[in-house]
Structure 1
Amino acid sequence: MILVTNNPKVSKEIKEIPVCFLEVEYGDVFKEVRRLIVEDKMILLTHPLSGSIKPNETYYKSVVLKPSSSDSIDIESLDYIDQGIEVYQKFMKNKMRPNWTQKVLEDFAFVDYYLIKDTLTRIPNH
């Protein structure tokens, strides 16, 4: 299992599984997840659009994947991440995110951290 994130709080606090911390934009997290699905044959364990925060309202995203037991691309995972990329692009095109204060960014980091931390407790055998 691996957790891909651009959230420094997640990178600092999550110790249960390997974390791939990327200093990139939200949409670039999706690009890396897509690469892992295609090139490394990983399978999504969390939905790319989990939570109720729109992609143009936050800077942080965390996604959990696991290795596939097959050598083929998991089409369902690929579909989900491609849909996530489309939604991200649509929201960013329609309304760019505000220039949030540091305090608001910390709040968004906490929300993403809390969501992924809670989710990890629900994934069997992590």
Structure 2
Amino acid sequence: MQCPKCNSENTQRLEVVFHGGTQEINTTGTTVGGAHGGAFGIGGAVTKTKGQSQSILAQKSAPPSKKSFKAAVILFVIGILMLGGQGATAFLGFLLIAAGAYLGYKNFQFNSKEWPSLYQQWLDSWLCHKCGTTYHHAV
């Protein structure tokens, strides 16, 4: 694939750039210790770490994200809890439930209708390693 800006062939699909610069981290460590001084003691611990490490280029080449439902669920749950109150508290609870439902609906619409085409566009995008241009080219 040739870059449309500088004609370099040093290009890669964004998906390859992203996955090449992303590493999963999964470590386990063990610690053992002892002490004495009036009483003798021994103890130990096992620590586990999970995560992800990314290069800056991989971060810039990341696929589009789906919208989260966390905020919608939080609004909805707080609204339900507030419905047990009196007067203005119950009304505010109702408004929070409505806001949570609306936000959840909007996020669902984005994830099901807009995100698939954005993701496909990302899959069809390329990066030139010579000039840094990102361009779209369906394969």
Bin the TM-score by the shorter chain: under 0.3
Larger strand fraction of residues: 2
Structure with larger Rg: 2
Larger helix fraction of residues: 1
TM-score, with normalisation over the residues of structure 2? 0.26
